[in-house]
């Protein structure tokens, strides 16, 4: 909460709530709009948190295929949640909890458990008031201790599964003082064939919202370009809001530029005035400006990183993409990620890795693509290409080394091949009796002890680190002795559990059982990702120094391969 010396914020003003809904179509960027609004309010000196409402019946995102909802993002407390919470953590620079993700599965499960326990004796349990009351309770509890809570409602207005949530929001607005609640509606403003910005989709979407009993206070139009003044006026007229409450959210080169765009539009100032907080905020000249400085860093050169995975979908590996971007911000280079199909590599198509400056093998589950990932590890190891293996990537690095260096023919993970003669990766002992799939892995933040005088120690600058995990399998303790006195060393451990590996006399070869991508932030890049990008730059500089045809100018400016 802002201190008196910061903003003179009066706690008696109470929590402020911003509800963000979307219309016309999904995937418009409600989450980025919400996160950007929160970033600007944080810059103004307020404590901001966020809640993501997912109307699906799953209790959490843990059992979903990435093609359904993108990556499963893991929180510090072990919550497996929607990727939008990753955006909130990165934009707001906060650590969230499972309580900040509300799902229909969670809500109904809780209400039904209460009914079975007899808490509603004599009552008929219904959507209203029992489900809606539980939704409101969850929002208020997540908002405790902060000034502003931003609540994004997943899906689009009109979806049948979202109706209880919109009704809960209507009740919420009825219960709270008018100045404490603001409704933001994000809609699509497409172009006609003759280049005219069309407002009819927005009009119909707002009509749907109003039929439920909600009146948007702010409308954000997603369009290729900024909204024309006439477009804003037309939306304001037909949607019954002031023209100054209509904002543009045009396509930008990078999602991290969205806060800058909506700030230029004046969204933050309008929100502050609506809440009566304009006088409580830091003066504009004193507001934090580090975000703008970080995301607009001038880039000098470009590097190419191969991401060897199963899914040709950026959202499936969003946190990895963002972590590489954060490392690029720090060093001042553009990082281009090239997806390489692990399935194809299993057939020997190493040519897809030629010319890549670095290789990442990400986490995942199942047999498909595992042989390709092992081949990618081998390529990086044998060709001195900087390599980072994450979770399953870490495990496949162990398998590859066991097969091709230690000579353990047929070595594999027991997850992929139950009858392997050398299960160098085996199931965690505590998983033997586990039957349920949801929420039963080794999840959340755990501490790793790091050996001094190792690359891992250089990366983290400490003898320990705390990172987030999501796995059922580990390096088999029965094979620890086989790796003693090997160039491949385990430099990070958690008790009898191997957490970090590295390969001596290699430009950069690191694997982590944990997922460092989940804690990376703009301005605070993940150490393994920063180390990978730095190693690529160093290798590029070394190549330029040894190239007799390279000029001094080339060595200074050419990073691209």
Q: Determine the Cα–Cα distance for residues 306 and 341; give it in Å rounded to an integer.
A: 10
Active site residue 465: no
**pLDDT on residue 493:** 97
Choose the catalytic residue: 400, 517, 539, 558. Answer: 517
Residue 206, token pair as written in the block = 């707002």
> Are 165 and 213 within 8 A, CB to CB?
no
Percent of the chain with pLDDT over 90: 83
Buried b (16+ CB within 10 A) or exposed e, 248-257: bbbeeeebbe
Binding site per annotation, positions for Mg(2+): 84, 152
Using the structure block, give the residue that is written with the tokens 């860093």: 297
> Are 396 and 422 within 8 A, CB to CB?
no
Using the structure block, give the residue that is written with the tokens 């072990």: 78
Which structural domains are found in the chain, ordered by start?
A: 16-294 (3.40.50.300), 299-540 (3.40.50.880)
Mean pLDDT of 222-238: 96
Residue 227, token pair as written in the block = 């909204």
Q: Confidence class of residue 312 from pLDDT cuts 50, 70 and 90?
A: confident
Buried b (16+ CB within 10 A) or exposed e, 83-107: bbbbbbbbbbebebebbbbbbbbbb
Work out the mean pLDDT of the chain and round it to a whole number.
Answer: 92
Active site residue 561: no
Q: Confidence class of residue 548 from pLDDT cuts 50, 70 and 90?
A: low
Mean pLDDT of 388-402: 97
**pLDDT on residue 284:** 87
Q: Confidence class of residue 540 from pLDDT cuts 50, 70 and 90?
A: confident
Binding site per annotation, positions for CTP: 26, 159-161, 198-203, 234
Q: How far, in Å, are 119, 362, 490, 516 from residue 453 at the CA level?
A: 58, 26, 12, 21
Choose the catalytic residue: 149, 223, 239, 391. Answer: 391
Is the pLDDT at 215 greater than 80? The verdict is: yes
Q: Determine the Cα–Cα distance for residues 348 and 222; give it in Å rounded to an integer.
A: 43
**pLDDT on residue 556:** 39
Binding site per annotation, positions for L-glutamine: 67, 364, 392-395, 415, 472
**pLDDT on residue 366:** 87
Buried b (16+ CB within 10 A) or exposed e, 36-48: bbbbbbbbbbbbb
pLDDT in tens, 86-96: 999 999 999 99
Q: Determine the Cα–Cα distance for residues 209 and 207; give it in Å rounded to an integer.
A: 5
pTM for this one? 0.92
Active site residue 239: no
**pLDDT on residue 436:** 85
Is the pLDDT at 10 greater than 70? The verdict is: no
Mean pLDDT of 196-214: 95
Choose the catalytic residue: 422, 446, 471, 515. Answer: 515
pLDDT in tens, 105-160: 999 999 999 999 999 999 999 999 999 999 999 999 999 999 999 999 999 998 99
DSSP 286: G
Binding site per annotation, positions for ATP: 27-32, 84, 252
Is the pLDDT at 8 greater than 80? The verdict is: no
Q: Confidence class of residue 217 from pLDDT cuts 50, 70 and 90?
A: very high
Binding site per annotation, positions: 26-32, 67, 84, 152, 159-161, 198-203, 234, 252, 364, 392-395, 415, 472
| Burial of residue 230, with CB atoms counted within 10 A of its CB: 0-12 exposed, 13-18 middle, 19 or more buried | exposed
SS in 3 state form for 141-176?
HHHCCCCEEEEEECCCCCCHHHHHHHHHHHHHHHHC
Using the structure block, give the residue that is written with the tokens 């460092």: 516
Binding site per annotation, positions for UTP: 26, 198-203, 234
Is the pLDDT at 558 greater than 50? The verdict is: no
Q: How far, in Å, are 235, 355, 391, 473, 493 from residue 508 at the CA level?
A: 54, 17, 17, 25, 19
DSSP 19: E
Q: Determine the Cα–Cα distance for residues 162 and 164; give it in Å rounded to an integer.
A: 6
> Are 182 and 19 within 8 A, CB to CB?
yes
Is the pLDDT at 546 greater than 70? The verdict is: no
């Amino acid at each position: 909460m802002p201190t008196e010396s910061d903003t003179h914020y009066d706690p008696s003003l109470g929590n402020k709530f911003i509800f963000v809904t979307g219309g016309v179509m999904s995937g418009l960027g409600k989450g980025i709009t919400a996160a950007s609004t929160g970033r600007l309010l944080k810059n103004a000196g307020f404590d901001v948190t966020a809640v993501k409402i997912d109307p699906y019946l799953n209790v959490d995102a843990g059992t979903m295929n990435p093609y359904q909802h993108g990556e499963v993002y893991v929180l510090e407390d072990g919550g497996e949640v929607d990727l939008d919470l990753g955006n909130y953590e990165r934009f707001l620079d906060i650590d969230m909890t499972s309580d900040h993700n509300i799902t229909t599965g969670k809500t109904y499960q809780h209400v039904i458990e209460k009914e079975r326990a007899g808490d509603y004796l004599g009552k008929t349990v219904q959507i209203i008031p029992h489900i809606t009351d539980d939704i409101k309770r969850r929002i208020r509890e997540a908002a405790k201790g902060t000034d502003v809570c931003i609540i994004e409602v997943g899906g689009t207005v009109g979806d049948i599964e979202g109706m209880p949530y919109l009704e809960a929001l209507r009740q919420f607005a009825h219960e709270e003082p008018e100045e404490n609640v603001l409704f933001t509606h994000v809609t699509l403003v497409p172009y006609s064939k003759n280049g005219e910005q069309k407002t009819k989709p927005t009009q119909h979407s707002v009509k749907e919202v109003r039929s439920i009993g909600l009146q948007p206070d702010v409308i954000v139009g997603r369009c290729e370009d900024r909204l024309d003044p006439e477009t804003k006026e037309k939306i304001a007229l037909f949607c019954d809001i002031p023209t100054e409450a209509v904002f543009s959210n045009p396509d930008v080169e990078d999602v991290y530029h969205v806060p800058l765009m909506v700030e230029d539009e004046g969204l933050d100032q309008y929100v502050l005035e609506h809440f009566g907080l304009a006088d409580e905020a830091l003066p504009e000249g004193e507001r934090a400006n580090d975000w703008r400085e970080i995301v607009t860093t001038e880039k000098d050169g470009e590097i190419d990183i191969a991401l060897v995975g199963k899914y040709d979908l950026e959202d499936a590996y969003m946190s990895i993409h963002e972590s590489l971007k954060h490392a690029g911000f720090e060093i001042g280079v553009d990082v281009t990620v090239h997806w390489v199909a692990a399935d194809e590599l299993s057939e020997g198509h190493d040519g897809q890795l030629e010319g890549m400056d670095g290789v990442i093998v990400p986490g995942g589950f199942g047999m498909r693509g595992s042989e390709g990932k092992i081949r990618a590890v081998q390529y990086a190891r044998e060709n001195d290409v900087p390599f980072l293996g994450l979770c399953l990537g870490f495990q496949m690095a162990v398998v590859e080394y066991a097969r091709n260096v230690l000579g353990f023919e047929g070595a594999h993970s027991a997850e992929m091949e139950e009858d392997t003669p050398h299960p160098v990766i085996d199931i965690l002992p505590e998983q033997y009796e586990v039957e349920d799939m949801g929420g039963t892995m080794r999840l959340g933040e755990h501490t790793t002890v790091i050996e001094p005088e190792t690359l891992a120690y250089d990366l983290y600058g400490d003898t320990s680190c705390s990172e987030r995990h999501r796995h059922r399998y580990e390096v088999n303790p029965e094979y620890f002795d086989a790796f003693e006195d090997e160039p491949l060393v385990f430099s990070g451990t958690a008790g009898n559990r191997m957490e970090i590996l590295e390969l001596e006399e290699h430009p950069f070869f690191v694997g982590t059982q944990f997922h460092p991508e989940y804690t990376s932030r703009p301005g605070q890049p993940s150490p393994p990702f920063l180390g990978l990008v730095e190693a690529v730059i160093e290798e590029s500089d070394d190549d330029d120094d040894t190239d007799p045809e390279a000029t001094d100018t080339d060595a200074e400016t050419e990073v691209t391969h």
